[in-house]
Amino acid sequence: MNVSLLVLGLVAALVVGAAAGYLYCNSRARARQAEARADARSIIEDAERAAETKRREAEISAKEAALKVKDEAEAEIRARRAELSRLEERLDNRDAALDRRDSELDERRRELSRREEALGSRAAELEAREAEQIKALEEVSGLTRPEAERRLFDSLEVELEDRLGRMVRDRTLEAEERVDTEARRITATTMERLASDVTAESTVKAVALPSDDMKGRVIGREGRNIRAFEASTGVDVIIDDTPETVVISCFDPVRREIGRVSMERLVQDGRIHPGRIEQIVSKAKKDVEKEMKAAGRQALYDAKISGNIHADLLRLLGALKYRTSYGQNVLAHSVEVANLCGMMAAEIGANVKIARRAALLHDVGKAIDHEVEGTHALIGGRFAKKSGESDDVVRAISAHHHEIEMETVEDVLVATADAVSAARPGARRETTETYIERLRSLEDIALSHRGVDKAYAIQAGREIRIMVQPSQVDDRIAAKLAFDISKQIESDLEYPGQIRVTVIRESRATEIAR
């Protein structure tokens, strides 16, 4: 019984506890729900306040922007109104100025009309007086007006012819002086514009040897090596007491260059025998041929010449690299003449292309003048014609030493540029012995003539001044003496450029006042 009560009590207690727990949990859930609703309302209110704040800020910004745009528009309107006011004021001023100018022009028209009327009346008065004067002159002179006019025209014609003759003479002299001055200016300007190197070479080539023992190997047993070398190259090999040196000599500059190259390669190789010599010489010939063509193409580039050129003519042009004249390299001289000729042609309006081409090729005959009869100018002209060059170029090449008649201004320019290049200071050089001998020969030629007292070669032999005895040589004989001496110099001496002969005749009378 007690146990049942106890069980019932426990069950009742559990029921009461469960009910109490349920009520408690239910009350806590309601409290949490109330808190969540309160938080939601707070968040909504905060969001509404923030949205209101942003809206007000946006309204304020829009109002400020609208005010700014309004202010700018009002400022622009005020500026436009000010500009319109200035334009209206300027137009008003211009209208006023035009009105004043119209009134001034009207006044000037009236003044011109008055002057025209006065001049008309004055002209009529002058015509009447002129008629009266003419009538009076006819009565006094007894000549009618046509007769008087004819006499006056005759006298004027004679006077005008005299004046015209003097004017023509003066203008002719002035033109000659101007032409001479202009020619000197063009030549001097062209020489100043040209900047060329001075190249001096000798007619022999020296080849250095590593030791004197190499000379024996060059000569070979019983001279077979040196004979084979000379037969293959066509040069002379000079072996003397000069230490460690072999000299290559030949009148043909191309063969001399082939000999020099071949000898240097043989010395470097060390194997010197007839078979090896033939191989080396054959290869050296091919290399020198290539070098000549390369030199010819470089000359065309340096002379600013475009267009095709025959291969044989290009080879001969390159061969001038190994030719010298009075120490001046002929290829460098040809390029220099081409540049000089082109500059002068441009100065006077001649054909620059023809002038440059003819000037570059003017000495091409020197590359073969030892093989063909004739002067190098005519040889070069014939070869250029054979190679397809134009008649103008051929004629300029042939005429640059006056061996045929010059016909065009380009012919004259080529000859002039050649003379300038050869005669300019420093272009050519001579050995000391040749130079001294030429000066001595100049003075001896001058002293050999009757009446010559002293003779001095000056300006490096380009001028000789001759003092004559005034008692034996008068002015007429002095002029003839200068001519005779110049002709004898031309026939007896060889020299670059030209030599000026100046004869000086001076009489002096001296007294002493005591």
Burial class for 414, CB neighbours closer than 10 Å (0-12, 13-18, 19+): buried
- pLDDT tens per residue across span 377-420: 888 888 888 888 888 988 988 888 777 888 888 888 888 888 87
DSSP 5-73: HHHHHHHHHHHHHHHHHHHHHHHHHHHHHHHHHHHHHHHHHHHHHHHHHHHHHHHHHHHHHHHHHHHHH
Residue 435 has pLDDT above 50, yes or no: yes
The continuous run of DSSP H or E covering 248 comes out as: strand 245-249
> 3-state class of 465 per DSSP?
strand
Residue 18 has pLDDT above 70, yes or no: yes
Identify the pLDDT of residue 197: 46
Q: Across all residues in the chain, what is the average pLDDT? A: 80
Q: In the predicted model, what is the mean pLDDT of residues 292-314? A: 85
Residue 180 has pLDDT above 70, yes or no: no
Percent of the chain with pLDDT over 90: 0
Nearest Cα neighbor of 370 from 502, 210, 256 is: 256
Which of 62-66, 160-164, 369-373, 467-471 is least confident? 369-373
Range among 105-114, 163-172, 497-506 with highest mean pLDDT value = 105-114
Nearest Cα neighbor of 250 from 231, 228, 235, 233 is: 235
CA distance 186 to 509: 44
More confident residue, 94 or 194: 94
Residue 465 has pLDDT above 60, yes or no: yes
Cα angle 379-381-386, degrees, rounded to a multiple of 5: 95
Identify the pLDDT of residue 64: 87
Q: Which residues contact 266 (CB under 8 A, 6 or more apart)?
A: 218, 229, 272, 276, 277, 280
Which of 85-89, 169-173, 360-364 is least confident? 169-173
What 8-state DSSP symbol labels residue 1? -
Identify the pLDDT of residue 375: 77
CA distance 308 to 305: 9
- Please say whether the dihedral angle defined by the alpha carbons of residues 315, 321, 325 and 329, taken in this order, is positive or negative: positive
Rounded alpha-carbon distances, angstroms, from residue 322 to 302, 340, 422: 17, 22, 17
Q: Report yes or no: 218 and 239 within 8 Å, Cβ to Cβ.
A: yes
CA distance 436 to 226: 37
Identify the pLDDT of residue 426: 47
- pLDDT tens per residue across span 41-52: 888 888 888 888
Residue 8 has pLDDT above 80, yes or no: no
- Grade residue 272 by pLDDT with cuts at 50, 70 and 90: confident
- Grade residue 192 by pLDDT with cuts at 50, 70 and 90: very low
- pLDDT tens per residue across span 203-251: 567 777 888 788 888 888 888 888 888 888 888 888 877 787 888 887 7
Q: In the predicted model, what is the mean pLDDT of residues 93-102? A: 87
Which of 171-185, 442-456, 481-495 is least confident? 171-185
- Grade residue 200 by pLDDT with cuts at 50, 70 and 90: very low
CA distance 30 to 23: 11
The two beta strands, 463-468 and 500-505, are parallel
Identify the pLDDT of residue 50: 85
Q: Report yes or no: 218 and 262 within 8 Å, Cβ to Cβ.
A: no
Q: Report yes or no: 360 and 352 within 8 Å, Cβ to Cβ.
A: no
Identify the pLDDT of residue 425: 47
State the helix-helix crossing angle for 224-233 and 253-269, rounded to 10 degrees: 140
More confident residue, 25 or 86: 86
Identify the pLDDT of residue 496: 60
Residue 326 has pLDDT above 70, yes or no: no
CA distance 267 to 211: 10
List b or e across 179-192, with b for residues whose CB sees 16 or more CB atoms inside 10 angstroms: eeeeeeebbeebee
pTM: 0.48
